[in-house]
């Protein structure tokens, strides 16, 4: 099977708008069940696979996502290029609600997750080069595609991956800012590292839903506002990916 692009949807993106002639694929993996069936269809003249990271009803919290099964399933179906769409909080001043960012670095603060396919019994131990956690060429293509679609995106930034599902304290965000993080999310890792182990081209399209704790003017983060901002940013995703596929 030929798949031109695989998309992993985060919070707010549970199906792919505009995907036609779809088929659903439940994939048995050595690592258990995927978050949802993989939906494959036609979009912008190409074959696109979509997988809802949290399930199609947002029933899987970030620390319980079976990242290994999800990536393995997409790879086994023929995907070689993957875009991870991630809802995030903004730490840097210019990364406020509804901003779209294509990050270029990651700091991993998660714990207790299966972070490697090497964890499987008898698996080959791979020491991947993770100096650049996202595929540079694919990042550039995403940024260029957004420009062609007339959508402003921020090129570069450091994604700090936290455990979730709770949001972070002000002190935690202050530490992350000192560490050099520009964004905070809960699902960026180990997804990026697992993609690298499978030799997939992988990039992240980070949608800013809110300012992180202590970074905006609001004293308290409103969940209703988060999903309103997320809905607005998510609406731009199909246009960016259409331009990417047409390029």
Q: Annotated binding site, which residues? A: 11, 53-54, 186-187, 210-212
Q: Which residues are annotated as a binding site for phosphate?
A: 11, 53-54, 187
Q: Is residue 18 within 8 Å of 43, Cβ to Cβ?
A: yes
Burial per residue of 29-40, b for 16 or more beta-carbon CB atoms within 10 angstroms, e otherwise: bebeebbbbbbb
Any bridge partners for residue 86, and if so which? 206
Q: Is residue 5 within 8 Å of 245, Cβ to Cβ?
A: yes
Q: Find the distance separating the first CA and the last CA of the chain, reported in whole Å.
A: 22
Q: Which residues are annotated as a binding site for substrate?
A: 186, 210-212
Residue 10's closest CA among 83, 95, 69, 108? Answer: 83
| DSSP character at residue 217 | S
């Amino acid at each position: 099977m030929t798949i031109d692009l695989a998309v992993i949807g985060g919070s707010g993106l549970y199906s792919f708008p505009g995907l036609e002639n779809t088929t659903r694929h439940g994939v048995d993996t050595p690592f258990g069940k995927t978050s949802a069936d993989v939906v494959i269809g036609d979009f912008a003249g190409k074959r696109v696979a979509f997988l809802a990271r949290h399930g199609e009803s947002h029933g899987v919290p970030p620390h319980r996502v079976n990242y290994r099964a999800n990536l393995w399933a997409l790879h086994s179906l023929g995907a070689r290029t993957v875009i991870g769409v991630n809802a995030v909080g903004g730490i840097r001043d210019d990364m406020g609600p509804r901003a779209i960012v294509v990050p270029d670095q990651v700091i991993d603060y998660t714990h207790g997750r299966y972070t490697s396919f090497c964890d499987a019994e008898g698996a080959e131990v791979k020491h991947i080069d993770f100096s650049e956690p996202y595929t540079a060429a694919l990042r550039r293509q995403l940024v260029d595609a957004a420009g062609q679609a007339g959508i402003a995106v921020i090129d570069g930034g450091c994604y700090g991956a936290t455990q979730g599902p709770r949001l972070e304290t002000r002190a935690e965000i202050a530490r992350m800012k000192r560490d050099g993080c520009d964004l905070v999310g809960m699902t960026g890792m180990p997804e990026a590292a697992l993609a690298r182990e499978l030799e997939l081209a992988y990039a992240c399209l980070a949608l800013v839903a809110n300012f992180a704790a202590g970074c905006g003017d609001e004293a308290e983060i409103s969940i209703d506002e988060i999903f309103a901002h997320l809905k607005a940013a998510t609406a731009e995703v199909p246009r960016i990916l259409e331009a990417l596929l047409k390029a």
